[in-house]
Amino acid sequence: MNNIIIGTAGHVDHGKTCLIKALTGTDTDRLAEEKKRGITIENGFASLPNEEGLRIGIIDVPGHEKFIRNMLAGIGGIDLVLLIIALDEGIMPQTREHFEILKMLHIPRGILVFTKLDLADEELIRMVEAETDEMVKGSFLEHAPRIRVSSFTGENIPELKKLILENVRNTAARRTDPEMFRLPADRVFSLKGVGTVVTGTLLEGSCAAGEELMVYPQQKRVRVRSIQSHNQQEERAFAGQRTALNLADIRKEELERGEVVARPGRMIPSMMLDARVQLFTDARHTLKNNSRVHISFGAARADCKAVLLDTAELKAGEEAYVQFRFEEPVAVRKGDRFILLFYSPVETFGGGVFLEADARKHRRNQESVLQGLRIKEQGTDAEQLEEELREYSAEIPCVSELSVRLNLTEERTEALLLELKGKKRAIAIGSDRYIHMDFWKVIAASAEKMLKKFHEENSVIRQMEKAEFYNRISARFALKKNQQELILHELVKRKVLQFSEGGVMLYGVDTTPDAEVARLSEQLLKRYQEDGFQVPYTEKLTAEYRNPRQIRQILSELGKKGKLVRVDASAYMAKEHWDYVTDVLYQKLDRDGQITLAEYRDLLHTSRKYSQMFLEAFDRRKYTKLVGDVHYKIKDRPEENT
């Protein structure tokens, strides 16, 4: 069954609500204040009966300028608009404002409905129609069907219904993929015995009772208890339906009109959005850089600062790229339309389209930024995906993340990624992550250059420790820990690097130390073994050699191999001697629980200087704790004593 949403638009008291009642039999004025004042304040809803199997809903929006916010919440996502003009008054201020809004929201089609036919003579009718022709010239309504009706007498109401059916038969299908489900909440209320209910136009996708969804931008998980559409209980709701969701796990007070119900992970709460903005041709205000504005999108309204990226000021009818920086997180999808409202006085004066679901902070007048925005606005899906990869490769995004950014299904996104991969414009990292080939070339070249320099400077240490590699590569590309590991494994897989003894090195580098290094290693180890407790200070020892840096590296490697133990920052000791001084310590500690420097010196038969060096090393290792002049045992001897 096709689901169609029709919206009304027009000046206050031009007969929108009466027309809907004449078409459907439903009075959409549901508030006592609306009955009293004779105007629509909140959005109303009615179903249009028909014999063609179409499920058609009509939204009645307010015409009064004070309730433009409510009008904007209801008009988004409609398939057809009825622009209503009373023949006894003609074009009025809200007629023009609503018309500008319809154009900015890219409403696909409409019908011009001239109401109050019973109150106008032929001359007045011709004047109103001529004025209307002038207003809609060059717009989507220039060649739209039109009809004169009277809701009071019923004249031409059956003909209008036929006209509506003719114009909705070939309405473009909405996306029905369940993953794309999205419902902006234009009403939130609670019913006794039922609980929290949100209503809105189901823009795309579908959902079923019992499913888990998420409320954005607050990212709270909820469960669908039940679904109603067109006053009927349903097991599943589909795109194009006016839908009421009874939600579990959330209270009415936790929800606000304008929040969006969607699937977990399918929207991005954002503080910044890039957009293409155009001001109304008759806008009374200009848009200046860094000015505060209101934005209406979906059923929401948010306050933000407008940063003009390619100009200093936008005037009536002009367009520009703008970055909106919000005061609180918002949730939209790429391609969503919006209306711009001047901050004070609050008046609509433009609109546009969001170019992505989330944005990074941009500097103004940067050609690289503007070129990227042009691709995001005008490029093919493949071109836009490649641009996203260029911009976000450092995050190593997965298929799901890219699909959300592009507002595509995962299936479509994966197919495009495979195309880019086949053209060598992207590479896969791990099971489902991708980066742009240009980024890969830069990171691979950087890793290769880094390790080549490391090998040139380190004749002894043949591999760089992973931690050091991660630190260096992250400093260059701002990678997170899991991203570092993915990149490292890809570098190894593609034979740029290789693993060796817990470290990394350039692929193909010989891991065997040269003869001179082997000779020096053996010589140094023998010296430490012969010196016993009289450990040489590293600085003094290295000064005896032609290449002190090389000697320090050899000592470090002997330490990593467990042949030397680093007593402190200034000295190493042969492992067997370290084990002995530790044995002596614990023989005393296990018996008495404490030891003094003098006692330890006498047990080792060595000088006070070296005894104190060893005891301080034990304190640093938390084997003992010095209180006054006594070292107390706080830890049993470790199995691996290093």
Task: From residue 89, give the alpha-carbon distance in Å to each of 139, 241, 282.
Answer: 22, 34, 21
Long-range contacts of 370-375 (CB under 8 A, 24+ apart): 370/309, 370/310, 370/321, 373/274, 373/276, 373/309, 373/321
Residue 58, SS3 per DSSP:
strand
Low-confidence ranges of the chain (pLDDT < 70): 1, 28-43, 62-76, 501, 511-513, 640-642
Neighbours of 602 (CB within 10 A): 11
pLDDT in tens, 51-96: 888 889 888 876 444 446 666 665 667 899 999 999 999 999 989 9
- Other Cβ atoms less than 10 A from the Cβ of 594: the count is 15
Provide the 3-class DSSP secondary structure of residue 438.
helix
**Under 8 Å between Cβ of 59 and 43:** yes
What is the DSSP code (8-state) at residue 620?
H
Residues 6 or more apart whose Cβ sits within 8 Å of residue 134: none
Instruction: Give me the DSSP letters along 201-265.
Output: E--BSEEETT-EEEEETTTEEEEEEEEEETTEEESEEETT-EEEEEEES--GGG--TT-EEE-TT
pLDDT (0 to 100) of residue 64: 42
As assigned by CATH, the class of the 3-168 domain is: alpha beta
Q: Using the CB atoms, write b or e for 445-480: b if 16+ within 10 Å.
A: eebeebbeebbeebbbbbbbeeeebbebbbeebebe
Q: How far apart are CA 184 and CA 223, in angstroms?
A: 16
Alpha-carbon span 152 to 86, nearest angstrom: 13
CB-CB contact of 63 with 40 (8 Å): yes
Cα separation, 630 vs 620, in Å, equals 15
Our CA dihedral for 586, 588, 594, 597, rounded to 10 degrees, sits at -100
The whole model's pTM is what?
0.80
CB contact at 8 A, 323 and 309: yes
At residue 573, the pLDDT reads: 93
Query: Do 178-262 and 270-368 have matching folds?
Result: yes
| Residue pair 624/615 in contact by the 8 Å Cβ criterion | yes
The CATH architecture one would assign to domain 270-368 is Beta Barrel (2.40)
Phi-psi group of 167: left, alpha or beta (phi > 0 → left; psi -120 to 50 → alpha; rest → beta): alpha
515-633 to CATH, choices 1.10.10.10, 1.25.40.10, 2.20.28.160, 3.20.20.70: 1.10.10.10
Q: Checking DSSP bridges between strand 319-330 and strand 270-279, what pairing results, if any?
A: antiparallel
Specify the pLDDT at position 512.
64
Q: Measure Cα distances from 11 to 14, 66, 114, 172, 563 in Å.
A: 6, 12, 12, 28, 89
Work out the number of other CB atoms within 10 angstroms of the CB of residue 331: 27
375-390 pLDDT tens trace: 999 999 999 999 999 9
pLDDT at position 37 is 35
Map tokens 């940067």 to a residue.
Answer: 366
d(CA 550, CA 519): 13
For domain 178-262, the CATH superfamily is Translation factors (2.40.30.10)
First vs last Cα of the chain: how many Å apart? 75
Domain boundaries, the chain: 3-168, 178-262, 270-368, 515-633
| Interatomic CA distance for residues 500 and 495, integer angstroms | 13
| Range 273-300 burial, b when 16+ CB lie within 10 A, else e | bbbbbbbbeebebebebebebbbbbbbb
Write the DSSP assignment of 331-395 as a string of letters. Answer: ---TT-EEEEEESSS--EEEEEEES-SS-----TT-HHHHHHHHHHHHS-HHHHHHHHHHHHGGG
